[in-house]
Chains A and B, each alone.
Chain A
């Protein structure tokens, strides 16, 4: 497990917390673990972000949103995109996982469990609507790169499962 704690200036935390992933609006980019650092260097805020998936089209928007909101708060900012260390679903905070679930997206399981689920050998993903684990995978790829598509066999609701990435 990669455990690198992001370095975020206390002053900037409440500002950056208002920026969300445009594809998952309930989740702030801090809860998502996308912001790796946000620090003052000679009065300019240097923000380092990392993509969830290489082709994630949200990254450009997130970068712009960060600059915009910091500007509104009176700060000049640079945003840098880094690939290393590669983002993992472990970096989604507890609060973030809860926000996903409340929004109707099942949060990622552990890596081994994820594999069993996606190979269809075990039923472990809980339905965000009724909580039943009597769920089936409809497709390994869902509405965005980071999600798989599931359906609950009890309440029959279709839902997204956030794939584990390690």
Chain B
């Protein structure tokens, strides 16, 4: 494929939003309250909308009649390039909102930089998405503060979720070969440059939330290169069921 690096780069960016969108979409009708249920599905819808723009662009690059649906539904687990963080399950609302918060802060910083890309399509998607993601970040940060600095139980649950999901944060700043090639080409974002600001922003919110920062320096990684936690497989089997069972099915 011509432009294979660009294709892989776009998938790397978009898969995060697809998998996170699917995860929070699981809360549709199952949220802890009506308002949070609606909020989570709204965030999910925004992410899916952004994903469609990325996948349509990737399908155009791939050519050979490939469509956005092929990319979303017909890849195998090892071909998804999302970070491990976004595939972690909705254990309880603390995990859901901590996962969201840890991703939103990154997502916003990432999109701010993507606006400076030399690729016009990516700039257009970034400029559109950033308005939506600003709301996501505000929503998840508010909940972290509210629950972290809330009751004894809510504090303990947020702390536990932070302790367990923290190990997935560093992967956000790892670079694949496609990432490096695209940074050199002026198309991609140098994620390593976002790291300092990311941890500063996260720390500032957690301090207000009276949540302690985990001290562990050991981090999980692999998703960007297709090596996932066991959770992704189950999720994909659910997500891809209709397209696998009835190939080419349309609404």
Contacts and interface: CB of A to CB of B under 8 A. Distances in A.
Interface of A: 51, 53-57, 82-87, 118-119, 138-145, 149, 163, 165-166
A138 B124 CA distance: 32
A119 B139 CA distance: 9
Contact of A54 (B49, B120, B123, B142): B49
A55 B124 contact: no
B40 to A, nearest CB: 8
Contacts of B120: 84
Nearest to A166: B131
Given A56-B49, A144-B42, 4 more contacts: A54-B52, A83-B125, A138-B35, A141-B135
A51 B46 CA distance: 11
A134 B243 CA distance: 50
B38 interface: yes
Contact of B39 (A85, A87, A141, A163): A141
A140 B124 contact: no
B127 interface: yes
B35 A145 contact: no
Contact of B50 (A54, A139, A163, A165): A54
Interface string B38-73: 110011011111101100000000000000000000
B49 A51 contact: yes
Select the residue from B42, B46, B48, B125 with max chain A CB neighbours within 10 A.
B42
Contacts of A144: 42
B132 interface: yes
B138 A119 contact: yes
B123 A55 contact: no
Chain B contact-residue range equals 20 to 34
27 contacts: A51-B49, A53-B46, A53-B49, A54-B129, A54-B132, A55-B45, A55-B46, A55-B48, A55-B49, A55-B52, A56-B49, A57-B45, A83-B53, A83-B125, A84-B123, A84-B124, A87-B128, A118-B138, A139-B35, A140-B39, A140-B135, A140-B139, A140-B142, A141-B42, A143-B38, A144-B42, A145-B42
Contacts of B53: 54, 83
Contacts of A85: 127
B57 to A, nearest CB: 10
Contacts of A55: 45-50, 52
Contacts of B129: 54
B127 A145 contact: no
Contacts of B135: 140-141, 163
A163 B129 CA distance: 15
B124 A86 contact: yes
A151 to B, nearest CB: 11
Contacts of A82: 124
Contacts of A83: 53, 124-125, 127-128
Contacts of B123: 84
Contacts of A141: 35, 38-39, 42-43, 135, 139
Interface in B7-58: 35-36, 38-39, 42-43, 45-50, 52-53
A21 to B, nearest CB: 16
A24 to B, nearest CB: 16
Contacts of A163: 135
A111 B42 CA distance: 21
A56 B52 CA distance: 11
B128 A145 contact: no
A86 B127 contact: yes
Q: Count chain A CB atoms within 10 A of each CB in B36, B38, B127, B138 and give the residue with the most.
A: B38
Contacts of A87: 128
A141 to B, nearest CB: 4
Contacts of B128: 51, 54, 83-84, 86-87
